[in-house]
Structure 1
Amino acid sequence: MRNLATGLGALLASTALGTAAIAQDDSPFKADITRTTHNIAHIEADTWEGVGYGVAYAYAQDNICMIAEEFVSVRGERSLYFGPDGKNELGLRGADNVTSDIFFRSQINLPSLRAGAEETSEATQALMVGYVAGYNRYLFDNPVSTLPSECRDAEWVRPITSDDMLRLTEKTMLLASSLALAGGIAEAQPPSGSKESANLETLTFPAPPEPNYGSNGWAFGSDATADGKGLLIGNPHFPWEGPARFWQMHVRGPDGYDVMGVGLAGTPLPTLGFNKDVAWTHTVTRARHFTVYMLSLDPKDPTSYMVDGKSVPMEEITVSVPMPEGEEPVEKTLYTTQFGRIVTVDDTPLQWQSQFAFALKDANSGNQRGIGTWLEMGRASNVGEVETAISETLGIPWVNTIAADRQGNALHADITAVPNVSADFTESCGTPFSGIVADRVTLLDGTRSECDWGKIANEGSIPGLLPASDQASRTRTDYVTNSNDSYWLSHAGEPYRELSPILGAYKTQLSLRSRSNYTETEATLAQAEMDQARAKELVFGNKVLAADLVMEPLLAACEGSNSLAEACDVLSKWDRRVETTSQGALLFLAFWSKVRGRKDLWDVPFDVDNPVTTPSGFNASEAMLEALGEAVSELSGKGIPLAAPWGQVLTRADGEDKIAIHGGTGLAGILNMQESQSVEGGLTPVHGSSYIQIVSFDDDGPVADAILSYSQSTNPASPFYADQTRLYSEKKWHRMPFSDEEIEAARIGDTVTISE
């Protein structure tokens, strides 16, 4: 295999790091970049180095300040450049810059990642080497003094190395696992002598904050489509800001590789998209990608733990975080074990105590198989080959894969890098407290070496990981779908067989968004077979399932209430949707946020035999009317009219303009999810529908309509900062130019060739 260090050595002598540009005919660093409508980048190269080179260059053109800051984050240098008190959107909870720096400096094991990189395929290594070269070439061509105002003349914008790519890839792999508890890892310290032990009888584990990374995905097969071919709807819900934003690209590389779609910051090819024969999307899975071990500590030393009756010292990891000039570095020692990193969670018994500690073991730590997996998916000609790619590599970190092909097959595969923890293993290696926290985390016994799943080897699988054959996958010719609930239901009429609890709860209550998905999908197919037009109506229907479930009894209870007369009148006239023109949506959602968690909400409980229609029977009690009154007072206090059109409340700023946004919280059963935060005068989206694609196939290739809700560039001065956002606001779609003829017709400007 190609040695990554050798490739980097050649790179260090290139123009990207400041020497003269000498393009040789046999240089692997060459790519053509063509832009089409909405600044979509089409990259063509004869080598995998050239692919990475072109993708990085084009990505930097649109997002240089954002990705440069992300490299600062994964290097653990935020405190140095942005101050220790600043914040980083780290994982799902966020953290101050010092905590972020400590986490990355202690979590990233560069020697191990370097060794792992040399075991990846030659194509994967070449892509990474090319990405480094392309990013650095962009900075050579565009000095820091000429960059957008957000990072112009910033000393933290500098060339990258292969180590930076290793760090960034590792962060991406950990997004839905260790990163969610980064603060608990960075802050874990041995107990002081005066610290009292917490009551483990009250042991709990925090629920992830809302919103979580989400998504909807549908694949329709030949029995459900108008043309008998496959059709895919991808509707991932991801952040509107930061490096987890999607970016559109079309890549043509060696051996006929021809894939269009999106990737995140640092991904050198599409990770979600389509080729001429197959299309795929991802949704965040409910599988657990880490376990927590309960350790019994040596009474003589709280930094040693007992395994098989013997005391084992924890390994110390000492990090030094640089501070701004004139300030001393912050140094901290953290601890790790054979069962993973020591972790604590504030305000819970999950603390490092005199007798017990807890360790987090992550299946995605060191996972460098992802890029190779997505590369093979892009080469697939049918969903069977997609399934093979994800099954053989176990490289997909934390998402379901939903795919459709031109032959009319529909695939749902909940196959990811998860711990090799079966139901029997969970029971035999449980602790007296495992059942208490089973709905939140898999808690295992750290006093026995036999309970270390990382040492379990299975023939034909990755050591320590649950084999694909023990995970969920099904191919149908009608439809499969997922809206982030457990693997057990991906088709309304046919539950999956029960698997290991590490993959998610079995036959448990669905989210309102999943219920809305099945309700709307079944209703659409009952009317007519699926095609592009009906798919667009499904994904942007903007119906509020919660309203359909509660409105009639709520309005009946409203009758005769003088204090709620205006509110009830507004709700009675509301269309029960979150269109930009919908009047009353904000009032209902404010009410729903106050009552949705109540135990007395429904008269009819969840019925496993009717998962799509239960629980039901809204209990329109006096307490519910009081909650409606509180919602009225809340909006009145903010000066927002009860009947304010939703598009005047939920907006995206573009300079002085405000763009009306449709969609709303998935917690109310809205498929087109847009989670928001308060701003002056209303709300603005922070997380939700992002890159939406509808892909079918004709005799010539893919037929893809898509929209990137937040647009292609993060530079507010760019004409492509909000152009697609305006299309999204108006529910307009863009036909993706895939063939030579389509690209030429949609071209904006000349093709740019970069080489060195």
Structure 2
Amino acid sequence: MRKFAIGALLLAGVSSSAAIAKGPTFSASIVRTSYGIPHITASNWRGIGYGVGYAYAQDNLCMIAEEFATVAGERSLHFGPKETAILGFEKIDNLSSDIFFRSAIDMPKLRRGISAQIPEARDVIAGYVAGYNRLLRDLGPTGVPAECRGKAWVRPITADDMLRLTEKQVLLASSLALAGAVVNAAPPGGAQAADQNVTIPDQDKIGIGSNGWAFGGDVTESGRGVLIGNPHFPWNGPARFWEMHLTIPGVYDVMGVGIAGTPIVSLGFNKDIGWTHTVTAAQHFTLFELELDPTDPTRYIVDGKSERMTPKTVSIPMPAGTAPVTRTLYSSRFGPMVAAPALLLSWGKTKAFSMRDANAGNQRGLAAWIAIGKAKSVADIRSAVTKTLGIPWVNTIAVDRAGNALHADVTAVPNVTAAKAKDCATPASALLAGRVVLLDGKRAACDWDDVAGTAARRLLPAYEQAIWERRDYLANSNDSYWLSNASAPYRQLSPILGAWGTMRTTRTRSGLIEIERRLKGTDGLPGTKIDLPRAEAMAFANKSLVAELVVDKLLALCADKPDVAAACNALRGWDRKYDVDSRGGYLFAVFAANIRSIANLWATKYDPADPVHTPRDPITDGDNGTKMIAALAKAAATLSAEGIALDARWGDVQFAKRGDQRIAVHGAEGSLGVLNVQQGQKVPGGITPTHGSSYVQAVTFDDTGPVVDAVLSYSQSTNPASPHFGDQTLLYSAKRWVRLPFTKAQIDADTIGKPVTISE
């Protein structure tokens, strides 16, 4: 017996020695610099994911733990079925959220899919899981932040949790907007979840947007590229950005940001390139109108033959003592069934509707972003984007140190040509035109086309999407591909990629006008070239194009109107900006919202030959003048009811709370023609941001590496106890930037706290 025990110990020693010789499975070092930015170094991709999972959870544990519960379809269990969550852009009850995720996410398919991806993608996910779970062990139950301490939903995660979260992210700006329609869908007489008032939001009204400007060497002081990235993303929840710098020596050295659960940089820079993203106007899903079999509403006709829909029954766990809720949902060959009466999409006895999303199961994004991070030129970025077709729903705007600029509006898009959209239209298609393409599902020929050589089936090839490379400038503010350079409009492409030749939003126009003024030297700044300080000043100028177009005429109109004299005087003293010290801007914002319903507002109509400067010249006489004075009076009354002065300082109206501190926030709604967008919600005493400028970066290059200023408007951590809960919010308020440390010497000079090395 004793000999056996000694032998076992010897064998254990040999095994242990072998394990030590082999080294840990996961290992990373984490160095933090000012404002809590982690610089993570590892010898391989598993180590990178390990460090990111650990450091991200240090800053945002409660938020991401709740998100893992959401995508697992466990909100009803933990938070109650009647409470609500934000899904896509709208609130949805927890039960409906759970039904959607448990029906829409196909775990066997996702597991098969990730196994076919590049090894780096699989490794970085495995590392993230290990790093997140390591932090939970290191914290222990009592070390979890107070906001979620003791909650059952704060638990170790698995690779499946990461796959679910990634699937949600790729659907975020596509079919996730129709999650309520998926939940609603049931055959006549069938059980439904709570009725959802489902709509497809207008592109200019959704909360996720952005500005991206790429300036090439022909217009920059240095002859190198200059990039401004100004994503407009939610200030709260898992779509918040988080800064990181990731290094595998000799392989990968990239700094920038990702959203919750993103294990690599998805927007940022390296030594030679900088890139940003803006939400594209392209449509990433289509609807199909089905002709139902008259004998059974769960069967439909394709080319004269009846096909059975595929049922899927899901079970939703409820709080203790309550039985699970079950629901059966259906899919056609085209995808899940949808029902949205507000959009005239109803499941009746003769007709129903189905949806397919080009991003469903899209796991190619990690490969695309890893390749972008390794790029040395915009040509490399173009190759990464076009070969993978893995970028889900954003334009890619980039520059390189050689002075080249790129805009690639290339994403996972349904392969639907203009001819197909026309030939396969139904009578209902025109009602949804501009928001989503509706195709005739009773003809198999109306399915998306399949072209050999694309990264996935039925996707529009990259050569049929919009790609520019130039050396002057390229810009996008969420309008379609048509006018990224005002002097060189793009050729007309499939309508699935967005409108062509149509009126641009005021924010797009504002950006192109500011670029035009800079290059002509008429913007009040010296010279006619771009450099980092000038680009930063443009990004935070906070000018309102609508004010520029309207205020002079309004002041002339209201000058002799005693009923609005005080409001008129307040606007006369306004600088027509949305800086924190600007006075009178809130009055104008309310007024501008009031006049949007005036049908014939502009004397100079939209002209496709001059889309940047039209429409303009407001009509202020006659009935229009009466309506404008009434709109101003109504705006003044609104401010009075809210207890806000007509000439209130903008930073006293719009603010972010960080603990007991009210931090003034500059910027305003994009509909005002303000580039630095901040959309907010009413709170006592004013407005607090909900969507808008987030991680703002200005990138250029010197002889040896990147030169980057950035600021994260809402700060790095969601934990109120963290020193990085509001530190960058104060910087943003003051229009101050952080010069990001990238080299080892820069990082060493800016290190805060003690470096951390983790391994297992």
What is the TM-score of this pair, normalised by structure 2? 0.94
What do the CA deviations read for 1:618-649 (whole angstroms, capped 9, x no partner)?
Answer: 12221111111111111101111111100000
Work out which of the residue numbers 371, 380, 403 in structure 2 matches 1:376.
371
Q: Gaps (5+ residues) in structure 2?
A: 1-18, 193-197, 522-527
Pairwise CA distance, 1:428? 2.0
Alignment partner, residue 513 of structure 1: 507
Matches within 5 A, 1:218-237: 218-237=213-232
Structure 2 partner of 1:457? 451
Q: Is the 8 A contact 2:604 2:616 kept in 1?
A: yes
Equivalent position of 2:498 in the other structure: 504
Alpha-carbon spacing, 1:24–1:211, altered in 2? closer, same or farther (3 Å): farther
Q: Does residue 542 of structure 1 match 2:542?
A: yes
Separation in 1, partners of 2:685, 2:85:
26
> Which residue identity does 1:115 align to in structure 2?
R
Tell me, what secondary structure is at the counterpart of 2:730?
helix
CA distance in 1, matches of 2:398, 2:191: 56
Residue 517 of structure 2 aligns to a residue whose secondary structure is helix
Q: Does 1:730 align with 2:740?
A: no
Classify the secondary structure of the residue corresponding to 1:283: strand
Q: Does 1:704 align with 2:708?
A: yes
Find out whether 1:386 has 2:381 as its counterpart: yes
The C-alpha deviation readout for 1:306-352, integer Å capped at 9, x for no partner, is 10101111100111111111112111111111111111114332111
SS state of the match for residue 70, structure 1? helix
1:359 match: secondary structure: strand
Give the distance between the partners of 2:580 and 2:22, measured in 1 at CA: 54
Shift of 1:122: 0.6
1:383–1:282 distance in 2 versus 1, CA, 3 Å: same
User: Structure 1 residue 460: deviation in Å?
Assistant: 4.5
1:668 alignment partner, one of 669, 672, 677: 672
Paired residues for 1:43-442 under 5 Å: 43-192=40-189, 207=202, 210-253=205-248, 255-442=250-437
- Deviation of 1:604 after TM superposition, in Å, equals 1.9
Q: Is 2:645 aligned against 1:651?
A: no
Offset of 1:461 from its aligned partner?
Answer: 4.5
User: Are residues 206 and 270 of structure 1, via their aligned partners in 2, closer, same or farther at CA, if it must alter by over 3 Å?
Assistant: closer
Q: Which amino acid aligns with 2:577?
A: R
70-79 vs 430-439, which deviates more?
430-439
Letter of the structure 2 residue corresponding to residue 712 of structure 1: Q
Cα gap change, 1:98/1:572 in structure 2, threshold over 3 Å: closer, same or farther?
Answer: same
**Are 1:70 and 1:243, in contact at CA under 8 Å, matched by a contact in 2?**
yes
Q: 1:28 to 1:253 in 2, by over 3 A?
A: farther
Q: What do residues 349-389 of structure 1 show as CA deviations (whole Å, max 9, x unaligned)?
A: 21111111111110000000001100000000000000000
Q: Is 1:31 aligned to 2:25, yes or no?
A: no
Amino acid in structure 2 at the alignment position of 1:492? A
Deviation at 1:111, TM superposition (A): 0.4
What corresponds to 2:14 in structure 1?
Answer: none
Per-residue Cα deviation, 1:469-521 (whole angstroms, up to 9, x for no partner): 00000100000000000000101111001111100010110000000000111
Which residue is equivalent to 2:592? 592
**TM-fit CA distance, 1:587:** 0.2
2:119 partner letter: E
Give the counterpart letter for 1:412 in structure 2. H
Report the residue type matching 1:616 in the other structure: R
- In the TM superposition, what is the alpha-carbon distance from 1:596 to its structure 2 partner? 2.1
- Please state how far the C-alpha of 1:750 moved relative to its aligned partner: 1.8
Q: Secondary structure at the match of 1:165?
A: helix
SS across alignment from 1:424:
helix
Q: C-alpha displacement at 1:207, in angstroms?
A: 4.0
Contact 1:489 1:496 in 2 (8 A): yes
In 2, the alpha carbon distance for the partners of 1:557 and 1:48 equals 64
Letter in 1 for 2:106: N
The alpha-carbon deviation at position 194 of structure 1 amounts to: 14
Check conservation: 1:674, 1:688, Cα contact below 8 A.
yes
Residue 563 of structure 2 aligns to a residue whose secondary structure is coil
Partner of 2:628: 624
AA at the equivalent of 1:689? S
CA root-mean-square deviation? 1.6
AA paired with 1:576? Answer: R
SS in 2 for 1:267: coil
1:218–1:208 distance in 2 versus 1, CA, 3 Å: closer
Q: Distance in 2 between matches of 1:205 and 1:286?
A: 13
Q: Which residue of 1 is the match for residue 723 of structure 2?
A: 719
Post-superposition offset of 1:391: 0.1
Question: 1:16 maps to what in 2?
Answer: none
Give 1:290 deviation, angstroms: 0.2
Secondary structure of the residue that 1:578 maps to in structure 2? coil
SS at the partner of 2:24?
A: coil
CA-CA distance at 1:254 after TM superposition? 5.6
Question: How far, CA to CA, are the matches of 1:607 and 1:396 in structure 2?
Answer: 33
Name the SS of the counterpart of 2:396 in structure 1. strand
Residues 580 and 665 in structure 2, CA contact (< 8 A), matched pair in contact too: yes
C-alpha contact 1:299 1:355 (8 A) present in aligned 2: yes
**Would you say the 8 A contact 2:207–2:234 is kept in 1?**
no
SS of residue matched to 1:320: strand
Separation in structure 1 between the aligned mates of residue 69 and residue 141 of structure 2, nearest angstrom: 15
TM-score by length of 1: 0.94
Structure 2 equivalent of residue 12 of structure 1: none
> In the alignment, is the contact (CA less than 8 A) between 1:28 and 1:47 conserved in 2?
no
* Matched residue, 1:524: 518
- Report how far residue 655 of structure 1 moved: 1.2
Decide which of 439, 443, 450 is 1:448's aligned counterpart: 443
Which is worse superposed, 358-367 or 186-195? 186-195
The aligned amino acid for 2:469 is T
Give the corresponding residue for 1:471: 465
Does the 8 Å CA contact 1:204/1:437 hold for their aligned counterparts? no
Which residue of structure 2 aligns with residue 602 of structure 1?
Answer: 602
1:649–1:683 CA contact under 8 A, matched in 2: yes
* SS of residue in 2 equivalent to 1:236: strand
In the alignment, the residues of structure 1 paired with residue 46 and residue 199 of structure 2 have an alpha-carbon distance, to the nearest angstrom, of 48
Whether the 8 Å contact between 2:199 and 2:340 is mirrored in structure 1 is no
Deviations 1:163-186 (A, max 9, x none): 001100000000011111111111
* Structure 1 counterpart of 2:596, one-letter code: R
Preserved contact between residue 88 and residue 97 of structure 1 (Cα < 8 Å): yes
Gaps of 5+ in 1: 1-21, 196-202
**AA aligned opposite 1:650:** Q
Deviation at 1:155, TM superposition (A): 1.1
Once the two structures are TM-superposed, the CA of residue 204 in structure 1 deviates from its matched residue by 9.5
1:559 aligns with 2:556: no
**Secondary structure in structure 2 of the residue aligned to 1:750:** strand
Structure 2 counterpart SS, 1:563: helix
Q: CA separation of 1:649/1:128 partners in 2, compared to 1, >3 Å: closer, same or farther?
A: same
Matched letter for residue 273 of structure 2: V
8 A contact 1:92–1:208 mirrored in 2: no
Please, which moves more after superposition, 554-563 or 341-350? 341-350
Per-residue deviation at 1:85?
A: 1.3
For 2:210 and 2:89, how far apart are their aligned partners in 1? Answer: 15
Tell me if the contact between 1:711 and 1:722 (Cα under 8 Å) persists in the aligned partners: yes
Structure 2: distance between partners of 1:492 and 1:383: 21
- Equivalent residue letter for 1:68: A
* SS of equivalent residue, structure 2 residue 161: helix
Q: Which stretch shows the higher mean deviation, 222-231 or 322-331?
A: 322-331
